[in-house]
Structure 1
Amino acid sequence: MTPPTDASPHISHVRTVDDLYGPAGRLEAVLNTGRPDAPFSAIVCHPHPPSGGTMHNKVVYHAMKAFASFGLPVLRFNFRGTGLSEGAHDNGHGEQNDVRAALSWLEHNYKLPILFAGFSFGSNIGLRACCGDVRVKGLIGLGLPVRAAGRDYTYGFLPKCIGPKLFISGTEDEFGPPETMQEVLSHAPDPKHLVWIEGADHFFQGVPTSPRSKLDQMQAEMRTWLSTTFNL
């Protein structure tokens, strides 16, 4: 497949992807096509599948829109066993290979450097797969979890994440409290940028003292970092 060409460089069409396969079988995916002269492609990974996470999650959607606002082609996919994706949930092990399969799909079809973003489970799994991959030039972790519903997430791999990194979390994130995340992220090498969204919970929604959704703020922080870091 050759990258689609849009009539307008600012219009991003959405289409289904029928030829993305991981080790467990076909992965359901959608693509925002982007501009024909886009300097990067992008991938966004979704939260914990058994807890209801899919590529249509609101945080994932807003992350996609941040990439798409620069005309980048953006790939979203469902991990194995989610939606119409074949296979079964593998507690984060096989899912790393799903991410690698998606990176290879983007590399094959667009031949562009890749930017990554993931939310919650998708941030941990995606970072594991992308850190150290020379195809990936920028990393965004949204709502990195430490402990959620009895599941522990570790980050011993962070020291090998040498590319530019953006981490965005809410000050009221119940699965990644600020004091814990500050310690975790201290082991990530520079360049890195950590943003705390005041009054946001894990899903970038408000709390009783600040009830308005914070998704737009999260998206704006992504756009600012992408623009300044990659001259978009």
Structure 2
Amino acid sequence: MPEVIFAGPAGRLEGRYQPSKKKGAPIAIVLHPHPQFGGTMNNQIVYNLYYDFVQRGFSVLRFNFRGVGRSQGAFDHGAGELSDAAAALDWAQSVNPDARSCWIAGVSFGAWIGMQLLMRRPEIEGFISIGAMANRYDFSFLAPCPSSGLFVHGSEDRVAPVKEVMAVIEKVKTQKGIQIEHAVIDGANHFFDGKIETLMEEVGLYLDRRVGPKTEEAANQPPPAVPSEEAEAAAAASALPAPAGEPEEGRGEG
């Protein structure tokens, strides 16, 4: 899981990149939760999404938004983070010039950024949006949504209630030829505490239908544990107190 540093609009961005062994393999970019509330590229859901795409033969990049970890810059309330995501896709395409397509996956704040990137980049053919905060961020730009994809929420999500994202889905699923699917993980909160395995099973079933199953070897191997230094970094980030009046997105109760 090589560490990479690439140029972003506000300075260097830190990431982890796993190239595919197949020429012309698709690209996947995975975006983490809110930088101000403990979100990093080492978030457990981000890591599991990353590894799932790796097991399906994608060239996969996850990275820290500006101001997180070793990424330069400062939090920019979404505008700068969208530019970071665009730079990440540009970098991934530069090292994979033969890539035939791209997917975007995001968690919470990262889902909002990912869907905005989707609207700007026609080569993105699919998406996974986990815990999209439709009650907090404006998703009206998805009218209509240009690509098929999956929204996943927890039934007990109090940070971003299911009914809010359902309202978004009802508005954007009318585009001809585009299919927006929605899955609800019973008993899961915003952070999918104790439910990440169930979450990834749901995501896996969807990706099986869209891009094909994992290799037999990969299907029989669970994702490796987050390397110890990354786990420590994630724990340190998630232990930071949330600013007053804001939900904690990195870890904690939904």
Q: TM-score, normalised by structure 2?
A: 0.78
Which structure has more RCO (C-alpha within 8 Å, separation ≥ 6)?
Answer: 2
1:15 aligns with 2:2: yes
Mapped to 2, the partners of 1:143 and 1:180 lie a distance apart of 11
Q: TM-score, normalised by structure 1?
A: 0.85
Asked if the contact 1:33/1:72 (under 8 Å) is kept, the reply is yes
Mapped to 1, the partners of 2:21 and 2:131 lie a distance apart of 29
Mapped to 2, the partners of 1:130 and 1:26 lie a distance apart of 23
Quote the residue 1:228 is aligned against.
209
Asked if the contact 2:185/2:198 (under 8 Å) is kept, the reply is yes
Quote the RMSD (CA, aligned, Å).
1.4
Quote the residue 1:106 is aligned against.
92
Query: In structure 1, which of residues 115, 122, 130 is the aligned counterpart of residue 118 of structure 2?
Result: 130
Asked if the contact 1:38/1:71 (under 8 Å) is kept, the reply is no
Mapped to 1, the partners of 2:146 and 2:134 lie a distance apart of 21
1:29-52 CA deviation, whole Å, 9 max, x = no partner? 111223324631111000000101
Asked if the contact 1:132/1:162 (under 8 Å) is kept, the reply is no
Q: Which of structure 1's runs of 4+ aligned residues deviate more than 6 A?
A: none
Mapped to 2, the partners of 1:178 and 1:53 lie a distance apart of 21
Q: Which segments of 5 or more consecutive residues in structure 2 lack a partner in the other structure?
A: 214-254
In structure 1, what residue type is equivalent to 2:131? G
Quote the residue 2:128 is aligned against.
140
Q: CA deviation at 1:160?
A: 3.7
What percentage of residue pairs aligned between the two structures are identical? 36
Quote the residue 2:38 is aligned against.
52
Pairs aligned (count): 207
Quote the residue 2:236 is aligned against.
none
In structure 2, what residue type is equivalent to 1:127? M
Task: Give the 3-state SS of the residue equivalent to 2:172 in structure 1.
Answer: coil
Mapped to 2, the partners of 1:97 and 1:45 lie a distance apart of 12
Query: In structure 1, which of residues 181, 185, 195 is the aligned counterpart of residue 165 of structure 2?
Result: 181
Quote the residue 1:118 is aligned against.
106
More helix by share: 2
Q: Which segments of 5 or more consecutive residues in structure 1 lack a partner in the other structure?
A: 1-13, 206-212
